[in-house]
């Protein structure tokens, strides 16, 4: 009897230990670039195979109302890495590629998620697109990241990365600049998306015995539309040439994510790794033939197609697979990751997101359904708020529009006239938020040059 009881006690202890995650999960944030909300299998896509992203979604929680804080690249990244609305510190527009400008980039007084995780003992790495300032002071190694491999600008050629060696002028052109390992130029022969997947997997292997934070920011499927035959062959059933190339690039993205996920599995890290996946904004449908259906709008717009994106949170040791309907934001990544790591918000900094884990587990004392999410572009030319199922949008000089997303996810029926009280209440919240913001620190890319 005694032996049996001891055996049972040991088994019970083993089960409890297996069920409890380590106090310091690894954290991986994967960001696609200009991915259409309807262009992955777990979002209903039929013509682009994305088995690895679908497997990630199956392992975690698919947030069906997942948002980013801006409908264009760099501001979303600034908000993601700081956990704050980027308009609070003037990072409202995409920055120009200006290696000599100390002002155009993620302000140096902003604390990044990498800074916060390093403080609690994490090894931090960034792989891929930076797009948060080209001056050396903005370099990832100076913004909390121990290791970096990638491209500093807003985009890059996917082939022929070494033209800077034979054409010095190319070394200063954003889409031809040398790829960097930390701050040193490197030669690269692989298709760029493959190279980023390789580097992400190598980072995991190198640091498998310590808690790590990996920020994997693809530039795919952002233009230029370039893909090797091995991915074009997977999309050969698509007749439209532009969409076929775009689809091939999504296949490459999926393979690279698959390589990373396989490496986590190889080192038995899957269960206790917190993984986020989303796009930095909606697809630019008119440019790449990406699809945001049934959402209205595209990249650059505050309608759902510009800011609502595929959004997955996976942490198998803690979160049960399923779906979550309340609105979540990329601003939630910072507080969620730091809380999971046992850290705290930076002193003197108010984060605009929340720790998602209690909500995704169904254990939160409050509901995200009551939270307001805000957007602003053009220094206030375009502005929007969502609270509950209602969303107020004002684009340019047009009157504000009101939509009930629970019944009208495609934003077809403007209710501003029939539900004026709701529109007025949302406008009041929007005005109060807008009053806390600052002016953009630099002009948008399409602004006329200063005389």
Going by C-alpha positions, the residue among 93, 106, 43 that lies closest to residue 283 is 43
List, in sequence order, every residue forming a beta bridge with 322; answer none if it has no partner.
61
- The secondary element (H helix, E strand) that includes residue 181 is strand 179-181
262 within 8 A of 308, measured Cβ to Cβ = no
Burial of 365 (0-12, 13-18, 19+ CB in 10 A): exposed
Report d(CA 331, CA 353) in Å as an integer. 5
- Reduced to 3 states (helix: H, G, I; strand: E, B; else coil), residue 124 is strand
Q: What DSSP state is assigned to residue 133?
A: B
Q: Which of 45, 70, 73, 251 is catalytic?
A: 73
Identify whether 63 is a catalytic site residue.
no
Going by C-alpha positions, the residue among 406, 302, 430, 403 that lies closest to residue 64 is 406
Give all strands of the β-sheet with 212-217 in edge-to-edge order. 184-186, 179-181, 147-151, 123-129, 212-217, 26-32, 273-279, 311-314, 61-63, 322-324
Report d(CA 50, CA 236) in Å as an integer. 15
Identify whether 131 is a catalytic site residue.
yes
Q: How far is CA 9 from the centre of its chain?
A: 44
User: CB neighbours of 68 closer than 8 A, spacing ≥ 6?
Assistant: 76, 79, 80, 278, 279, 280, 281, 307, 309, 329, 330
- 409 backbone φψ class: left, alpha, beta (φ>0; ψ -120 to 50): alpha
User: CB neighbours of 169 closer than 8 A, spacing ≥ 6?
Assistant: none
Q: Which of 45, 70, 91, 131 is catalytic?
A: 131
Give catalytic residues, as residue numbers.
73, 131
């Amino acid at each position: 009897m005694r032996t049996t009881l001891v055996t049972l006690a040991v088994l019970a202890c083993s089960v409890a230990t297996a069920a409890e995650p380590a106090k310091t999960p690894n954290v991986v944030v994967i960001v696609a670039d200009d991915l259409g909300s309807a262009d992955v299998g777990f979002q209903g896509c039929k013509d682009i195979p994305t088995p690895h992203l679908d497997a990630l979604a199956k392992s975690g929680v698919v947030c069906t109302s997942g948002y980013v804080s801006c409908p264009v690249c760099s501001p979303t990244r600034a908000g993601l890495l700081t956990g704050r609305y980027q308009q609070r510190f003037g990072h409202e527009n995409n920055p120009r590629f200006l290696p000599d400008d100390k002002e155009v980039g993620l302000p140096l007084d902003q604390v990044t998620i990498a800074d916060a995780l390093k403080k609690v003992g994490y090894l931090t790495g960034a792989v891929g697109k930076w797009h948060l300032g080209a001056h050396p002071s903005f370099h990832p190694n100076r913004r909390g990241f121990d290791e970096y491999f990638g491209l500093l600008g807003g985009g890059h050629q996917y082939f022929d990365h070494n033209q800077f060696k034979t054409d010095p002028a190319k070394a200063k052109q954003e889409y031809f600049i040398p790829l960097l390992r930390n701050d040193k130029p490197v030669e690269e022969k692989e298709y760029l998306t493959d190279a980023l997947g390789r580097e992400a997997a190598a980072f995991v292997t190198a640091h498998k015995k310590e808690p790590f934070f990996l920020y994997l920011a693809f530039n795919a499927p952002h233009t230029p539309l370039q893909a090797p035959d091995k991915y074009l062959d997977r999309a050969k059933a698509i007749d439209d040439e532009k969409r076929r190339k775009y689809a091939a690039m999504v296949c490459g993205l999926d393979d690279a994510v698959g390589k990373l996920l396989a490496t986590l599995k190889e080192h038995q890290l899957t269960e206790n790794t917190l993984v986020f996946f989303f796009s930095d904004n909606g697809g630019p449908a008119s440019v790449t033939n990406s699809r945001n259906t049934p959402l209205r709008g595209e990249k650059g717009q505050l309608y759902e197609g510009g800011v609502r994106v595929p959004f997955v949170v996976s942490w198998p040791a803690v979160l049960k697979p399923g779906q979550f309907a309340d609105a979540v934001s990329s601003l939630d990544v910072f507080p969620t990751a730091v809380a999971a790591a046992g850290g705290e918000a930076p002193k003197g900094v108010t984060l605009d997101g929340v720790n998602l884990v209690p909500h995704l587990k169904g254990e939160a004392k409050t509901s995200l359904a009551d939270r307001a999410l805000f957007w602003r572009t053009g220094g206030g030319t375009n502005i929007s708020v969502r609270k509950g199922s209602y969303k107020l949008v004002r684009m340019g000089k047009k009157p504000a529009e009101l939509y009930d997303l629970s019944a009208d996810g495609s934003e077809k029926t403007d209710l501003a006239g029939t539900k004026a009280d709701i529109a007025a209440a949302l406008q009041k919240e929007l005005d109060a938020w807008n009053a806390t913001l600052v002016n953009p620190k630099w002009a948008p890319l399409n602004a006329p040059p200063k005389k």
